[in-house]
Structure 1
Amino acid sequence: MDFEENLLKLEEHFYQEGFEEGQNENLHNNFMEGKQFGLQVGFQRYVLLGQIVGLCDILDSLDLQNIMLTKNIASVRKLIDGIEMNNDEKNVEQLEKTLVKLKNKFRTILLSFQRLTKDRKLKKHLNFDDVDDLSRMIGGKMQTFVEDEDVSEAKTTQDQMHEW
């Protein structure tokens, strides 16, 4: 009888040890997946900003001597410099508002550039849709969705299901 009781305790001990080991491994894997997901989403959010800055640098280097173009480029740089790159709810909401302004201002820059270079017989002008498509190709697509969360009163679309 004492022998059977020891066997049951031993079995329970190994069961508990295996359970804890599996739980710890799961926690580690979830942490790594969360880290990878966060890096991917962060990259996808900011790749367009990097492209805009790069294209503004190129347009500046062309020295087109257009006051409005130079002013718009400076305005875009100022908007980008004002973006806080963290995941605070307030900053995410501000980022989404700033992105709308940036996209519209950058469209204006590209249109101005097209007008300035229309006599150069370029086969195709760069437009914002081309830049946006390229950033989506580079960043890739990721479906996101948070379960069991009421998004009807959400201030941002950050955690709602959509392609990033």
Structure 2
Amino acid sequence: MDIFDNLLNLEEQFYEEGWEEGHNENLKNNFLEGKQFGLQVGFQRFVLLGQMTGFCDVLDSLELGNQNLEKNVESIRSLIKTVGLSNKDEDVENLEKILVKLKNKFRTILISVNRLTKQDKKRIIDFDDFEDLSRIIAGEVKGFVEDEDVDEAKTAQDQAQAW
């Protein structure tokens, strides 16, 4: 074996080292991007629940004296407490079911608030306004779409509407 035999394999050696380095860097970046995407999607899923809780806190502080409204607020709070915060299949499925109930219950709360405030000629709030505000706060994460115009790509939030 000649001392120059290793020189003949330099190209292959550098190729393998470069490929391995690039592969490891890609794995690290994919992990970080996946974490960031997961945090954003998780935030988008639960921001509406946080807003509902905050709105219920405001209603409690106003002490409106409406028993129906207080009962619905308490119902919202108890439903939110049953939501699991993990990404397990059971918790995601449970969130889907509870979210439908929460939205309907919250609509009734907004209707009650509108009836109470209509006397004061204040602006009427509806659930669409509330949900739009949630989307603005949560932002949108662009989903990866291959060979399409990015402006027309669906967002992850759009795709998550049918949770």
Q: Quickly name the TM-score band, shorter chain normalised.
A: 0.7 to 0.9
Structure 1 pair 145–98 and aligned structure 2 pair: CA distance change class (3 A): farther
In the superposition, the TM-score normalised over structure 1's length comes to: 0.84
Q: Could you say which residue in structure 2 is the equivalent of 1:129? A: 128
Write the mapping of 1:3-152 to structure 2, written as runs, cut at 5 A.
5-122=5-122, 124-144=123-143
Determine helix, strand or coil for the equivalent of 2:9: helix
Checking the alignment, whether the CA contact within 8 Å between 2:72 and 2:105 is kept in structure 1 is yes
Which structure 2 segments of 5+ residues have no match? 147-155
Partners in 1 of 2:73 and 2:144 — Cα distance?
Answer: 36
What amino acid maps onto 1:96 in structure 2?
E
Checking the alignment, whether the CA contact within 8 Å between 2:56 and 2:73 is kept in structure 1 is yes
What amino acid maps onto 2:138 in structure 1?
G
Deviations 1:38-75 (A, max 9, x none): 00000100111111001000011110011110000000
Deviations 1:109-130 (A, max 9, x none): 01011112221111x1111111
Q: Could you say which residue in structure 1 is the equivalent of 2:150? A: none
Q: Could you say which residue in structure 2 is the equivalent of 1:162? A: 159
Structure (1 or 2) with the greater helix fraction: 2
CA displacement at 1:12 relative to structure 2: 2.0
CA displacement at 1:15 relative to structure 2: 1.6
Checking the alignment, whether the CA contact within 8 Å between 1:43 and 1:139 is kept in structure 2 is yes
Checking the alignment, whether the CA contact within 8 Å between 2:44 and 2:138 is kept in structure 1 is yes
What amino acid maps onto 1:129 in structure 2?
D
Partners in 2 of 1:143 and 1:98 — Cα distance?
Answer: 26
Checking the alignment, whether the CA contact within 8 Å between 2:110 and 2:127 is kept in structure 1 is yes
Checking the alignment, whether the CA contact within 8 Å between 2:49 and 2:80 is kept in structure 1 is yes
Determine helix, strand or coil for the equivalent of 2:159: coil
Which structure 1 segments of 5+ residues have no match? 148-158
What amino acid maps onto 2:108 in structure 1?
T
Partners in 1 of 2:65 and 2:59 — Cα distance?
Answer: 10
Partners in 1 of 2:86 and 2:130 — Cα distance?
Answer: 24
Checking the alignment, whether the CA contact within 8 Å between 2:140 and 2:157 is kept in structure 1 is no
Structure 1 pair 98–163 and aligned structure 2 pair: CA distance change class (3 A): closer
CA RMSD of aligned residues (A): 2.3
